[in-house]
């Protein structure tokens, strides 16, 4: 039986009545969109780990690219039957998060996106994690435009000329891209790429697209939900903002959503512009239906971001492609390196103490104590997946720690350590990756205080378990990862305040593997080392 549109989508009119929309609409457009897929081509279990036979039996596997492909085909057919033009867009961070990226370095993502039939994507910050050359290889082979209006790549010999500010797609629909201007701080783009103000770049590109004859302009952004709302309110002439980066789920059919889909924002024209986003990790597909007048202004908007349920069908061709891409990963996934007595989730590691963060930080500190470390710091955003209960494979661990960061050991004053913690807590409400997971400390912070003044108290926990107040003038031994040590995620005090730093330690995944091998089953525990007041 063919499902009706009403059964598939929860309608949220933004402006006007349906009668007026039907009478005046010159463009009937459907945007199918994804964001922050993070290389999650296989379905995953509800714990965030690999989807195993027992998960399949319980029906607790989620998402996956073959299921996404089937959902896009189904929604495309339904929309086209209604007389709508269809675009398939991605709002960045296709890279980083599973063994598919660890092994293929973007080639798996390019082949899957090509098979699905994307029309355009914007770059996310994680596309820059392994430098411009990796993006360039992806962009040269991609059959769709790669967009970022605020990226200036003219001085980079690898990426120059491969990224466009905007693209004119079928029907005179212009799509303009933007990547977060914070990319140099939170990723590794190299010294030759320049990132400008997102809002200004989008406004300039929108004006260019209009001058070139665009009938409607869509902003495709990787800047986060809060910034998307600012853009929708400030940039003239947008028909919609399709976003990513903050992993915000807007949905009418998933009770975990932050808000309803689409989210209306009043624009300079006095009309509401819909803002949409689909969470993260290849678990939802967004469908935004737009009725636009002849000038590309919104008359009505409706849609939903719906879960890719485990019980749904998979596209056979994409499933076969995933199987081919997964073949080299089999041995990595199979090798057992430890046991977990329960699942280690990563859902809260960007906002609060989490058992996964405790385990990784404890492993780092144990490895670096012989070098004088007393404290370990790990950014929550560096933990890219969870660990399921039961056997832990090398593949599970590489999914958690896919960046190949090394241990960095340094000495840091107590005052600079507090400054580092302040940075870590400064954007906790947005789920920023800088949230600090730690060992060797007991910290209380105040979420209601302004950023920069949130740390309430800090105690150093010695190897014997005794606590002592942090002394501002004393130098403490600190171990962290090489990304944070270089100032990543805003941890500039780890870069600028370091004394006697050594950055070329072992890879963190190797350290954690050794830590697991020295123990029996690890238990997911939070012990109050981070307290929110």
The pLDDT tens digits of the residues spanning 375-398 come to 999 999 999 999 999 999 998 998
The pLDDT of 179-187, averaged and rounded, is 91
User: Distance of CA 395 to CAs 126, 198, 329, 513, Å?
Assistant: 20, 36, 8, 11
pLDDT for 105 equals 95
The residue whose two tokens read 């001085």 is: 155
Domain boundaries 335-532, corresponding CATH code: 3.90.780.10
Which fold is adopted by the domain 14-40+85-94+118-308?
A: Purple Acid Phosphatase; chain A, domain 2 (3.60.21)
Residue 408 and residue 425 in contact, taking contact as beta carbons nearer than 8 Å: no
Kindly give the interhelix angle for 316-326 and 107-116, rounded to the nearest 10 degrees.
170
| Length of the chain, in residues | 533
Q: In the prediction, which pLDDT does 386 show?
A: 93
Considering just the CA atoms, what is the radius of gyration of the chain in Å? 23
CB 407 within 8 A of CB 60: no
Indicate the DSSP class of residue 461: E
Q: How many CA atoms lie within 13 A of 69 on its CB side?
A: 23
CA 148 to chain CA mean position, Å? 17
Mean pLDDT is lowest, of 2-6, 62-66, 127-131, 314-318, for: 2-6
Q: Answer whether residue 330 shows pLDDT above 80.
A: yes
Q: Of all helices (H) and strands (E), which one includes residue 108?
A: helix 107-116
**pLDDT band for position 331 (50/70/90)?**
confident
* Paired strand residues for 375: 478
Give me the pLDDT at residue 20, please: 39
Structure tokens at 167: 């693209």
Strands (E), 50-130: 61-62, 85-90, 120-122
pLDDT for the residue 204? 98
Q: Is the pLDDT of residue 4 over 90?
A: no
Q: Do domains 14-40+85-94+118-308 and 335-532 have the same CATH topology?
A: no
Cβ atoms 334, 515 nearer than 8 A: no
| Domain range annotation of the chain | 14-40+85-94+118-308, 335-532
Bridge partners (DSSP) of residue 217 are 174
Q: Which residues contact 331 (CB under 8 A, 6 or more apart)?
A: none
Alpha carbon distances (Å) from 275 to 249, 259, 348: 11, 11, 25
Tell me: the pLDDT tens digits for 446-505?
999 999 999 999 999 999 999 999 999 999 999 999 899 989 999 999 999 999 998 878
Instruction: Quick: pLDDT tens for 74-112.
Output: 999 999 999 999 999 999 999 987 889 888 999 999 999
Under the banding of pLDDT at 50, 70 and 90, the label for residue 322 is: very high
What pLDDT score was predicted for residue 21?
39
Q: Span 5-26, mean pLDDT?
A: 38
In this predicted structure, the answer to whether residue 49 has a pLDDT above a threshold of 60 is no
3-state secondary structure of 197: coil
CA-CA distances (angstroms) from residue 443 to 41, 92, 475? 37, 34, 18
CA gap 149, 475 in Å, rounded: 44
Section 425-438 average pLDDT:
95
Residue 197 has pLDDT above 80, yes or no: yes
202 vs 52, higher pLDDT = 202
3-state secondary structure at position 477: strand
User: Pairing between strand 216-222 and 173-179?
Assistant: parallel
Reduce the secondary structure of 155-176 to three states and give it as a string: CCCCCCCCCECEEEEHHHEEEE
Measure the CA–CA gap between 64 and 95, rounded to whole angstroms.
14
The mean pLDDT of 155-175, rounded to a whole number, is: 97
Q: How confident is the prediction for the chain on average, in pLDDT? A: 91
């Amino acid at each position: 039986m063919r499902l009706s549109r009403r059964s598939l989508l929860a309608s949220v009119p933004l402006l006007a009545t349906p009668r007026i929309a039907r009478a005046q609409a010159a463009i009937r457009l459907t945007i199918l969109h994804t964001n922050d897929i993070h290389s999650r081509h296989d379905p995953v279990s509800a714990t965030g780990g690999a989807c195993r036979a027992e998960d399949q039996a319980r029906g607790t596997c989620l998402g996956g690219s073959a299921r996404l492909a089937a959902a896009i085909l189904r929604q495309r057919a339904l929309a086209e039957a209604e007389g709508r033009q269809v675009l398939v867009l991605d709002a960045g961070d296709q890279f980083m998060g599973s063994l598919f990226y660890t092994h293929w370095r973007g080639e798996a993502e390019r082949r899957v996106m090509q098979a699905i039939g994307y029309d355009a994507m914007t770059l996310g910050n994680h596309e820059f994690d392994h430098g411009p050359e990796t993006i360039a290889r992806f962009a040269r082979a991609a059959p769709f435009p790669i967009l970022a209006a605020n990226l200036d790549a003219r001085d980079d010999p690898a990426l120059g000329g491969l990224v466009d500010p905007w693209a004119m797609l079928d029907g005179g629909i212009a799509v303009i891209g933007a990547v977060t201007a914070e990319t140099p701080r939170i990723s590794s783009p190299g010294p030759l790429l320049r990132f400008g103000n997102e809002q200004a770049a989008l406004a300039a590109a929108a004006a260019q697209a209009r001058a070139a004859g665009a009938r409607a302009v869509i902003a495709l952004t990787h800047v986060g939900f809060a910034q998307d709302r600012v853009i929708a309110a400030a940039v003239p002439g947008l028909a919609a903002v399709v976003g990513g980066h903050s992993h915000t789920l807007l949905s009418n059919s998933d009770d975990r959503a932050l808000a309803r889909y689409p989210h209306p924002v009043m624009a300079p024209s006095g009309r509401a512009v819909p803002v949409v986003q689909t969470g993260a990790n290849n678990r939802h597909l967004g469908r935004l239906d737009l009725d636009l007048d002849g000038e590309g202004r919104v008359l009505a908007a409706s849609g939903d971001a719906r879960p890719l349920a485990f019980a749904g069908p998979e596209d056979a061709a994409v499933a076969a492609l995933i199987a081919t891409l997964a073949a080299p990963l089999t041995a990595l996934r199979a090798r057992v390196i430890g046991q977990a007595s329960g699942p280690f989730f990563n859902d809260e590691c960007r906002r609060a103490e989490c058992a996964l963060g405790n385990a990784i930080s404890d492993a780092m500190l144990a490895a670096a104590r012989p070098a004088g470390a007393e404290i370990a710091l790990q950014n929550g955003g560096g933990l890219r997946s969870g660990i399921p209960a039961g056997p832990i494979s090398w593949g599970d661990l590489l999914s958690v720690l896919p960046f190949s960061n090394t241990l960095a050991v340094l000495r840091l004053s107590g005052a600079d350590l507090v400054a580092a913690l302040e940075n870590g807590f400064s954007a906790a409400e947005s789920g920023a990756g800088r949230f600090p997971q730690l060992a060797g400390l007991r910290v209380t912070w105040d979420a209601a205080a302004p950023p920069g003044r949130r740390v309430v108290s800090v105690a150093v926990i010695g190897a014997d378990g005794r606590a002592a107040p942090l002394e501002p003038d004393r130098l403490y031994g600190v171990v962290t990862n090489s990304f944070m040590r270089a100032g990543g995620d805003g941890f500039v005090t780890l870069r600028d305040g370091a004394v006697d730093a050594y950055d070329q330690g072992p890879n963190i995944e190797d350290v954690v593997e050794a830590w697991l091998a020295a123990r029996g089953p690890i238990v997911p525990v939070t012990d109050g080392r981070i307290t929110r007041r």
